[in-house]
Chains A and B, each alone.
Chain A
């Protein structure tokens, strides 16, 4: 018997909600490597951050397992990105809808991952439940996304919302394969 493992990567800037996203759907306790933040600026946002990566799992059946890998959000850990992108089926770029100052970085991360692997991806506009969240269309414009790239309103702490994001990515992957791109 062959066990097929499939990998998806969840990336995005610091504090975009990657850990929460994986935690919402993983069947195992998300193995994360959060550490106390050393930078004063970053500490103002949250107390700890992911320095290596988060890891979640969804067992599909006896011979198929989906792994979700979350990347570290801080720039100084970007050496991990290429390692993580190897063999991925697709990726999700998480963006904090309430922090426009991170949009430029999100765009850079997106471009970097696209360069590593030409796999399908979607952009998840996280924290859409917050009052000061940007409108999805405004975010699309600010991120300069192509019209054919899905930008999905998302709340990473909400399981249904996360499921929807994963499904939309899978639909994109399926469409690409059926069109002969995958």
Chain B
């Protein structure tokens, strides 16, 4: 029977467990609302992984993991973009730029990052293609799945806890009304700032998550942190049904842009 379904019903961790137990060979394709991934296995071990929207060529991976410099990356892309990953790997080894272990570690790090990212996907259609083997033109690795399964289980527990803490994303957020004494001690990440910039009692959390393009788990993690730090409070969406859409400037029409700027001017004058 084909291994297919939705991550809502069978988690990514459970799928890894099935692949591991059955020593499966093939490729898992997952289409989440925002991203699509392909993860290939050989005899129950991770061989290859890619996200469709990311450049996963060897030069890009080596660059993203800091094994080659941006200058070296540009040079390779300029002169060696036609050769396969395996050929390029050999050339880099022969030229003494990298050794085999460094290349393999880099790929393992990259593939592991993709698997960890997929643990945050809580919805998405998946199917396991037995006939789709790990790509032969890419350098494959051979990583045991047990560690991934343990990590995935931890994240699953976290997901369940976050759902308990923040049961519905239909609610809105507002800044906590108290003196800012403790705020000055908080160090927010870039992602947290992106969320903070949309906080308004009229925006539901669902709308904010959509605006900042985060999946449920990532978003709930951030909200939970902000709640714990006492920076925000959960409130009912302000008075009206939460239908407001968030639209960053600039608006498309020039007359709208001019109107917005004039309204800003009037408001600042009245401060």
Chain A residues with a Cβ under 8 A of chain B: 1-7, 25, 28-35, 48, 51-53, 55, 58, 60-61, 63-67, 69, 80, 83, 87, 89, 159, 163, 166-167, 170-171, 173-174, 177-178, 182
User: Which of B35-43, B73-81, B243-251 lies at the binding interface?
Assistant: B243-251
Distance in angstroms between the alpha carbons of A53 and B187 in the assembled complex: 9
- B179 engages A4 (CB within 8 Å): no
- B248 engages A5 (CB within 8 Å): yes
9 A-B interface contacts by CB (under 8 A): A1-B202, A1-B244, A4-B251, A4-B260, A29-B180, A55-B193, A65-B200, A87-B248, A167-B268
Assess whether B264 is interfacial by the CB under 8 Å rule.
yes
Q: Given A5-B249, A29-B183, A65-B200, is A178 in contact with B258 using a C-beta cutoff of 8 Å?
A: yes
Set of chain A residues within 8 Å of B190, measured between Cβ atoms: 52, 80, 83
- Beyond contacts A3-B202, A3-B244, A6-B249: 7 other A-B pairs, Cβ-Cβ < 8 A, are A1-B240, A1-B244, A3-B247, A6-B248, A33-B186, A51-B187, A55-B196
Set of chain A residues within 8 Å of B179, measured between Cβ atoms: 29
Set of chain B residues within 8 Å of A53, measured between Cβ atoms: 193
| Shortest Cβ gap from B212 to chain A (Å) | 12
Chain B residues with a Cβ under 8 A of chain A: 175, 179-180, 183-184, 186-190, 193, 196-198, 200, 202-203, 231, 240, 243-251, 254, 257-258, 260-265, 267-269, 271
Distance in angstroms between the alpha carbons of A49 and B12 in the assembled complex: 42
Set of chain B residues within 8 Å of A65, measured between Cβ atoms: 200
Set of chain A residues within 8 Å of B260, measured between Cβ atoms: 4, 6, 64
B186, B245, B257, B268: the one contacting A177 at CB < 8 Å is: B257
Distance in angstroms between the alpha carbons of A30 and B200 in the assembled complex: 15
Q: Given A4-B249, A7-B248, A67-B197, is A174 in contact with B258 using a C-beta cutoff of 8 Å?
A: yes
Distance in angstroms between the alpha carbons of A22 and B188 in the assembled complex: 18
| Shortest Cβ gap from A164 to chain B (Å) | 9
- A35 engages B249 (CB within 8 Å): no
| Shortest Cβ gap from B207 to chain A (Å) | 9
- B263 engages A60 (CB within 8 Å): yes
Set of chain B residues within 8 Å of A163, measured between Cβ atoms: 268-269, 271
| Shortest Cβ gap from A30 to chain B (Å) | 7
- B193 engages A52 (CB within 8 Å): yes
A2, A52, A61, A159: the one contacting B247 at CB < 8 Å is: A2
Set of chain A residues within 8 Å of B196, measured between Cβ atoms: 31, 55
B175, B257, B261, B264: the one contacting A28 at CB < 8 Å is: B175
Distance in angstroms between the alpha carbons of A51 and B39 in the assembled complex: 38
Distance in angstroms between the alpha carbons of A61 and B203 in the assembled complex: 15
- B197 engages A55 (CB within 8 Å): yes
Set of chain A residues within 8 Å of B203, measured between Cβ atoms: 3
Distance in angstroms between the alpha carbons of A66 and B188 in the assembled complex: 20
Distance in angstroms between the alpha carbons of A27 and B179 in the assembled complex: 13
- A87 engages B249 (CB within 8 Å): yes
- A170 engages B249 (CB within 8 Å): no
| Shortest Cβ gap from A122 to chain B (Å) | 13
- A89 engages B193 (CB within 8 Å): no
- B243 engages A1 (CB within 8 Å): yes
Distance in angstroms between the alpha carbons of A5 and B249 in the assembled complex: 6
Distance in angstroms between the alpha carbons of A53 and B180 in the assembled complex: 15
Distance in angstroms between the alpha carbons of A81 and B123 in the assembled complex: 33
Set of chain A residues within 8 Å of B198, measured between Cβ atoms: 5
